[in-house]
Amino acid sequence: MNILVVRNDKLGDFITALPTLYVLKHHNPSNRIIALVAPLNRKLAESCDFIDEVIVDESEDILELAFKIKQARIDVSITLFSNTRVALAQWIARIPLRIAPATKIAQIFYNRRIRQRRSEVKMAEFEYNLELTKALFPDITLDFPKPLLQLEGSADAYSAFCAEYGVSRAVVAFHPGFGGSSDANWTLTEYIELVKIAEEDQSIDVVMTFGPDEEKLYDEAKELLGESRVILYRSRGSVVDFARLLSSFKLFISTSTGTYHLASAVGCETFTFFADTLFASAARWKSIGEKQRHFMIPLDSAGRVAMFKKVKQELKNRLSTLS
């Protein structure tokens, strides 16, 4: 059976789809699993041994997308997050069975609609995704290994990183940027305060990571740090290259972004900051990995100050166990 799984949005959203792709493949290894993804996620999808084919959604043309889907000879599609464009493209491609959540006007183009009410956040996003597979295989097992992503070449990537930056101890990394559906974060000055707590521990190496579009943030951090042993790392290469590196870090500290989901998926422990709202909460956006610590940043200033004090203490406590 050729099964199309649609999750063609951002990095973190796609990572919440990986368990779904995994369980569909392992339910019956003869299933051909095809992922429809955004260009950003192409290489990550191609690196997964439980994905057989990748379709990249790289234009707004509905007919072009429908043609790509038609060429893959899909028997059934499971659309984890829909919009009218991807729904219509599947209808034009004449996929016999089209499964999706019963939300938005796009649902009229699907012929098996599942009511989930994700806005109630009764489970995490990746768990809602997994639940949709039961509409196709009621007896499917929803278990998946942790870490789910085990990428070839990770040891070599980390060795090269250590040689380039003089790393010889366990790495604790901070990623101060916003991204994805993140609604809350500390200021760069507050991140620097956390970084300096870690820097005091001589048994670890401290890294600050920055995305390719965060040059300004990189420059500001460099100025604030002054003379420091903290390593400032601008990610280069693909998402998969960064994932290989993250898999060897001991702790990754960030707001709720795609990089947080990536770190957790490859087995790195995470400290993650979420907005204190249901939509952006850890209840909805917890990652697919283990070893997670979540902090909800209050909207009011007094609550924010109290939470930051708690984060500093939790960080000190965790660093003492890494030593």
Segment 210-257, tens digit of pLDDT: 998 899 999 999 999 999 999 999 988 899 999 999 999 999 999 999
In Å, how far are 142, 268, 318 from 172, measured between CA atoms?
32, 10, 11
Q: Specify the pLDDT at position 183.
A: 63
Q: Which fold has domain 2-135?
A: Rossmann fold (3.40.50)
Q: Residue 138: is its pLDDT beyond 90?
A: yes
CA distance 263 to 255: 12
CA quadruple 178, 252, 118, 61: dihedral, nearest 10:
50
pLDDT tens digits, 19-69: 999 999 999 999 999 999 999 999 999 999 999 999 999 999 999 999 999
Which residues 6+ apart lie within 8 Å of 137 measured at CB? Answer: 24, 27
Closest CA to 210 of 184, 188, 193: 188
Which residues 6+ apart lie within 8 Å of 9 measured at CB? Answer: 38, 81
pLDDT-based confidence at residue 179 (cuts at 50, 70, 90): low
Domain ranges for the chain: 2-135, 154-322
Output the six-digit token pair for 90.
Answer: 């599947």
| Amino acid letter, residue 213 | D
Which residues 6+ apart lie within 8 Å of 51 measured at CB? Answer: 21, 25, 33, 34, 35, 45
Q: Which CATH superfamily is domain 154-322 in?
A: Glycogen Phosphorylase B; (3.40.50.2000)
**DSSP string covering 153-181, please?**
THHHHHHHHHHHHT--SEEEEEE----TT
Same fold? 2-135, 154-322: yes
Count the Cβ atoms, other than its own, within 10 Å of residue 171. 24
